[in-house]
Structure 1
Amino acid sequence: MTSRDQVSVTLAQVAKAAGVGESTVSRVLRNHGSYSGKTRERVMTAVERLGYVPNRIAGTLASAGSRLVAFVIPSLSNIVFADVLRGASATLENNQYQAVFAVTDYDPAREEALVASMLAWRPAAVILAGYEHTERTIKMLRASNCRAVELLDVDGTALDLAVGFSNRAAGRQSAEFLLKRGYRRIGYVGHDIDRDTRAGKRYSSFCDTLSANGTPLADQEIYREASSVERGRLGLDRLLARTPDLDAVYFSNDDMALGGYFHCLARGIVIPSQLAIFGYNGLDLGRVMPQALSTIRTPRVAAGELAAKLIMDNASPQVVDLGFELIEGATA
């Protein structure tokens, strides 16, 4: 008999093997309610011997509320979203909730399809990045009975719950910092700011601040793909080939800035006396570089933790601005 032909072990079979009722098995497996240590041992022995796997979907449909929390995130290669998941996981697990996730690759249409797929499982909450979604995504979330949490931004109108920080303020403060340090020939290297709307907000605010101070952006190199260390290095190479007299470069995030730093090391460009570099996110790698990266540190783990807590507490709709920290570093 193949595994496909086998009949799944049922809760009733576990209960019979353990010599207890099905409700007792359910309480033991959910770690909820009263039962003795000996009863738990008998149930878990039966579970292990029979190879029983709880049917979480059946439990969800039979209960008053789902134990699933769906994360629909842009990327897993970007450590920012891994940090968010890390922040949320402990709180969810401690409350017997299960996190499931899907990756959009910064594509709004893909996000729409994934949200529809996730909602079919009737999750307790859907967690997304940012405020920008398709009209259908917004309608689906508003029509559902689950909570919606938008993360890593506060520049816009929230659907329900939002936890993050102002990307526009981050762009403005980055520009003000470079101007205060005396830099005037400033360039930009970035990734796809049309799909990554939060990066787009930082870029727009950065440029507006420079222009308002009489020093418009000197040049830019923007890729239509996701950010990476390699693109940061190639982007700075192309930018300096066109505009070699730049005295500072603002990168869309730390991944890109690290690539720019490596380019400077390879070409013998002295940082920051010949060229200043400024990033965004405050990644650990930037902190332990030979010269600590000048950047904005964002509270990604804290955002994940608070998002999970608000869901567990069934909090009223609200927007929580966690702020950010400007790290002066040594590269600017």
Structure 2
Amino acid sequence: MPPIKPTLTDVARLAGVSEITVSRVVRGKGPIAEETRLRVRGAIEALGYVPNRAAGTLASSASLFIGVILPSMHNIVFPEVLRGIYEGLAGSPYQPLLGVSEYDRDKEQEILASLLAWQPMAIITAGSDHTDVTRRLLSESGVRVVELMDTEGDPVDLVVGFSHRQAGYDSGRHLIARGYRRIGYVGHDWAADRRARLRYEGLVAALADTGLSLAAEVHADGPSSVTGGTEMLPRLLAAAPDIDAAVFVNDDMAVGGYFHCLAAGIAVKKDLALFGFNGLDIGQAIPMPLSTVRSNRFEIGRIAAERIIAEPKRPAVTEVVNTGYEIIEGATA
């Protein structure tokens, strides 16, 4: 039996204000004292109340879109996921409505509340690292919920992706099997990027299982970029000049490291092996194709959309669809 959803009346009662005042706060219209607005917002979060924006529209219109929340559109990974979602929805009447959280959990919560107010058919979001309020809203929404990219964590409904921790572990085992022992790491600010941290933890575990540890590690401030890789690799080499391999958080950073090697006269693979993650086209287009892990990003998006269409009502049991990944041998490690 689906949970009873809180009403505007419930919010008004908890906040100690009139229903008209709650309506004004929700719609952002009319003069409201800041103290009152904060009290109403607090009641909304505490109850998990979601206004119905679609109430005044045709009943059928509420089910014609799927809310999609992605962490970034700057990273080519997520446009590919979105392309897969469009492919999965092709030929159906459904359309995605996109929000971008910029890896901010509070912003994801805000976007989700806005999307749910329009009564979507389903919600697709990245990962399972949500605020408590976001998880409650997803759980109590009653609609299909698909969490993409990472299979770690407790699913709300359906998860489509793979284990980033295992991908990091397998990357480490691959490098060890190829004879590398003095391995360094180049990362970025992973405070919000949980999947990057899981891969790092997997890599460290693989090294530990062989009696090894990272020779050194450096982290760029902010998100990953080619420029960040170009800047960070010399810092890693300054900290550990004798490393024989550098693992990068992703292909963007690894390609930047490759460019630094070209400029500094470092023989890639002979003097220093480079290893990335994602399997981006740019990494395979450089003169020495990048050694990396290819994730099935397009398939993740496509499968998510197709599963929603095939089974529009949330099932009683949760499910994990593992899309796997592939280690690309490349020429840099």
Which of the residues 249, 259, 262 maps onto 2:259? 262
| Equivalent residue number for residue 160 of structure 1 | 157
Evaluate the alpha carbon distance shift between residue 61 and residue 148 of structure 1 in structure 2; reply closer, same or farther with a 3 A threshold.
farther
| Equivalent residue number for residue 239 of structure 1 | 236
Evaluate the alpha carbon distance shift between residue 320 and residue 60 of structure 1 in structure 2; reply closer, same or farther with a 3 A threshold.
farther
| Equivalent residue number for residue 327 of structure 1 | 328
Which of the residues 197, 203, 207 maps onto 1:206? 203
State how far apart, in whole Å, the 1-side matches of 2:234 and 2:197 are.
22
How far the C-alpha of 1:209 sits from its partner, in A, is: 1.3
Matched, 1:146 2:143: yes
Aligned residues of 1:192 and 1:224 also touching (Cα < 8 A): yes
Which of the residues 106, 109, 113 maps onto 1:109? 106
Aligned residues of 1:299 and 1:322 also touching (Cα < 8 A): yes
Q: Calculate the TM-score normalised by the size of structure 2.
A: 0.80
Matched, 1:185 2:182: yes
State how far apart, in whole Å, the 1-side matches of 2:56 and 2:267 are.
61
Which of the residues 66, 70, 73 maps onto 1:73? 70
Q: CA RMSD in A?
A: 1.7
Which of the residues 81, 87, 109 maps onto 2:84? 87
State how far apart, in whole Å, the 2-side matches of 1:140 and 1:93 are.
28
Deviation string, structure 1 residues 128-169 (Cα, Å, up to 9, x no partner) = 111110000000111113211101111221110110011011
Matched, 1:230 2:227: yes
Deviation string, structure 1 residues 86-105 (Cα, Å, up to 9, x no partner) = 01102324111111111111
Q: Which amino acid aligns with 2:270?
A: S
How far the C-alpha of 1:57 sits from its partner, in A, is: 5.8
Unaligned runs of 5+ in 1: 1-55
| Larger Rg belongs to | 1
Deviation string, structure 1 residues 8-34 (Cα, Å, up to 9, x no partner) = xxxxxxxxxxxxxxxxxxxxxxxxxxx
Unaligned runs of 5+ in 2: 1-52
Aligned residues of 2:185 and 2:214 also touching (Cα < 8 A): yes
Q: Calculate the TM-score normalised by the size of structure 1.
A: 0.80
Evaluate the alpha carbon distance shift between residue 58 and residue 144 of structure 1 in structure 2; reply closer, same or farther with a 3 A threshold.
closer
How far the C-alpha of 1:61 sits from its partner, in A, is: 4.3
State how far apart, in whole Å, the 2-side matches of 1:122 and 1:266 are.
54
Q: Which amino acid aligns with 1:78?
A: N
Aligned residues of 1:70 and 1:100 also touching (Cα < 8 A): yes
Aligned residues of 2:283 and 2:289 also touching (Cα < 8 A): yes
| Equivalent residue number for residue 4 of structure 2 | none
How far the C-alpha of 1:224 sits from its partner, in A, is: 3.7
State how far apart, in whole Å, the 2-side matches of 1:323 and 1:85 are.
18
State how far apart, in whole Å, the 2-side matches of 1:258 and 1:59 are.
51
Q: Which amino acid aligns with 1:320?
A: V
Aligned residues of 1:60 and 1:67 also touching (Cα < 8 A): no
